[in-house]
Structure 1
Amino acid sequence: MKTTIEEAREKSHENLVSNLQGLLEKNYDAEQGYKEAMVKAENGHLKEYLKVRAALRNRFATELSDVIINLNEKPIESGSATGAVHRTWMNIKDAFSSDSDESILEECIRGEKASVEEYKEVLKENENHFTPEITSLITNQMLEVEKSLDTIKKLEDLM
């Protein structure tokens, strides 16, 4: 029989892992979205930028996977069904769009805004449960996404 303290630790651990898995899934979705956008982009500089963003999200996923493994848990291995449905919708929207690069940037902005909000929410909900190392990792990833969002907005203004 578990003590109340053991049950609380177990619940805290499950919550921690669940939040990390959620961020991992979102990074898989973002990476795949950037890869698909890269293929559709017409501008060479935009293609390169999207490639770099996909690689960054891959790095984030690897970092989060490593943390989950260090917590003796198995990381998820792919993105969400919701992300796949969204990319399908974007394929349909793209087929009817007259300015594909601008549409791509608009979707990148929307996606990055959602990512920043997700990171903020996870940090807020878990400020007392994460180790300083995990908090630092998640905060740094969020700051990178915020920088990416600023850059994408500037690129959109140039298009």
Structure 2
Amino acid sequence: MEHNNEIISDLKGLINFLNDGKEGYNSASETTEDLELKGLFLNFAVQRGLYADELKTHLEQHGGESDNESGGLLGALHRTWIDIRQAFSSKEDSAILNAIETGEEAAIEKFEAAINNPSTHADHVDLLQRQVTGIREALSQIRGYNERLKVTQS
């Protein structure tokens, strides 16, 4: 039973991170005026929502449920930071991208912790690995866009 409680707790934490990411990307898409970034952010928001739904299925298989559709406190703090930066920087895309990088790095760390505990997450470790790969790819795209933005602003 304790093993199952750990699985439920870990999955809920990952779902929170995914919902935080979804909400953060939605917020970022509303903040930027760059149409390419807006599309990128919306695509990643949808991806995070799908990832959360996939993990909810596994959570339910272990007897847990997630009533979190909008992220946790950490995500709210990231979104608040984006909102504050928006007010002071006139929608500076670089600041938004930096905040997203921070959030994605935290998500990757959380996923890796679960993946590195395969005895607990054996029945869904492949799913976690696929999802963290998607998050890493998103982070790479965000970093690449941010680098291009810095070069054009120089």
Q: What's the TM-score once normalised by structure 2's chain length? A: 0.90
Residues 103-132 of structure 1, C-alpha deviations (whole Å, 9 max, x = no match): 1111111111111111111222x221222x
Query: How far apart in 2 are the matches of 1:83 and 1:112?
Result: 11
AA partner of residue 141 (structure 1): Q
Instruction: Indicate the residue corresponding to 1:146 in structure 2.
Output: 136
Give unmatched runs, 5+ long, in structure 2.
Answer: 150-154
Residue 128 of structure 1 aligns to a residue in which SS?
A: coil
- Out of 58, 65, 71, the residue aligned to residue 67 of structure 1 is 58
Residue 121 of structure 2 aligns to a residue in which SS?
A: coil
Asked which structure has the greater CA Rg, the reply is: 1
Stretch of structure 1 that moved more, 115-124 or 89-98: 89-98
Residue 72 of structure 1 aligns to a residue in which SS?
A: coil
Residues 56-109 of structure 1, C-alpha deviations (whole Å, 9 max, x = no match): 000011001111112222223232123223312321122111561111111111
Instruction: Indicate the residue corresponding to 2:85 in structure 1.
Output: 93
Corresponding position: 1:112 with 2:104:
yes
Query: How far apart in 2 are the matches of 1:86 and 1:116?
Result: 16
Instruction: Indicate the residue corresponding to 2:3 in structure 1.
Output: 12
Residue 74 of structure 1 aligns to a residue in which SS?
A: coil
Whether the 8 Å contact between 1:29 and 1:83 is mirrored in structure 2 is yes
Instruction: Indicate the residue corresponding to 2:121 in structure 1.
Output: 130
AA partner of residue 69 (structure 1): E
Give unmatched runs, 5+ long, in structure 1.
Answer: 1-9
Query: How far apart in 1 are the matches of 2:113 and 2:33?
Result: 35
Q: Which runs of 4+ in 1 moved over 4 A?
A: none
Q: What's the TM-score once normalised by structure 1's chain length? A: 0.87
Percent identity, aligned pairs only, is 27
Number of corresponding residues: 148
